[in-house]
Amino acid sequence: MQDKIRNQWEKNAEAFSDLIAGIGTPHHRSILNPCVEELVGDVRNKKLLDAGCGEGYLSRYYAQKGAKVTGIDLSERLIKTSQRLAEGANYIVTYRADDICHLESVTNDEFDIVLSNLVLLNIPCLESALREYHRVLKRGGHLVFSIVHPAFNFYGPGSWEMGEKDPESGRRQGLYFKVDNYFDEKEYERYWKTRKGEDFPAPISFFHRTLSTYLNALVKAGFSITEFREPLPIDNDEFFNREMRIPFFVVIKAEKT
């Protein structure tokens, strides 16, 4: 399974890096990232693990804010891209390839913060990843992670019923969101689109789980949940009409007590 997932991200590395473009998509910038930043809090002189860092833009962002950051990803190509994008910077960030299901390169009680942004929905090993996050955190340290909201998950059993294209925003109107088989926890493969609207070279695996599976797994791993957020877009932009009506993301902060 890990080989399949690694291959998907290796094949999609360039398309994914182009999509993120060092800043994230409009959905990241206007809905997710401000909430994540609020929950991550003051990072100055803190050791932060960016678990599943992708092309590493959040690692670079928090390193600029004064954190000592390590970014880890399964994809060697994404790690190479991350390293290239941080070359010559006046902050320090270390990137290396490793598997968050078994974090071999990280010792116990090493980090103040583990950030895992839009990763846990892409891995088959939720429980072992959370155990690893717990192991590498110092006592009193925090995990902040985000996922696409599992109850309204179009990378899983849901989708919008679409209406006409809005001439101003260029987006199709969402009539209503339909969801079925919420309790059917399984893998879905989906193709993402490039900025030009073409399919990525390979599908991406998404592991649909109920919200209770995530929350119970956190508790089982030894975490106490301190924040639970369903962030709204930061500005009342008509472009995000659909995202004002149902939550797109979930962001959770949990403490190693």
Ligand X SMILES: C[S@@+](CC[C@H](N)C(=O)[O-])C[C@H]1O[C@@H](n2cnc3c(N)ncnc32)[C@H](O)[C@@H]1O
Alpha-carbon distance 222 to 224, whole Å? 7
Alpha-carbon distance 27 to 149, whole Å? 13
Nearer to ligand X, 161 or 199 (CB): 199
- Binding residue (CB under 6 A) for ligand X from 30, 70, 82, 117: 117
The answer to whether 52 contacts ligand X (rule: CB under 6 A) is yes
E strands of the chain, at which residues? 47-51, 68-73, 93-97, 111-117, 137-148, 158-165, 172-179, 187-190, 204-207, 223-229, 249-256
Considering the complex, what minimum distance in angstroms separates the CB of residue 76 from ligand X?
A: 10
The answer to whether 205 contacts ligand X (rule: CB under 6 A) is no
Q: Which residue is nearest to ligand X (CB)?
A: 54
Is residue 223 classed as helix, strand or coil in its secondary structure?
strand
Instruction: Please answer whether residues 185 and 209 qualify as being in contact, where contact means their C-beta atoms are separated by less than 8 angstroms.
Output: yes
User: Which residues have C-beta within 8 Å of that of residue 131, sequence separation ≥ 6?
Assistant: 221
Alpha-carbon distance 130 to 26, whole Å? 28
x/- string (CB under 6 A) for ligand X, residues 8-47? -x----------x---------------------------
Nearer to ligand X, 63 or 72 (CB): 72
- Give the range of 71-79, 153-161, 206-214, 231-239 binding ligand X by CB under 6 A: 71-79
Nearer to ligand X, 83 or 173 (CB): 83
Considering the complex, what minimum distance in angstroms separates the CB of residue 106 from ligand X?
A: 12
| CA R_g for the chain | 18
What residue type is assigned to position 12 of the chain? N
- Binding residue (CB under 6 A) for ligand X from 39, 63, 69, 74: 74
Please give the residue ranges that form the binding site for ligand X (CB under 6 A): 5, 9, 20, 52-54, 58, 72-75, 78, 99-101, 117-119, 122-123
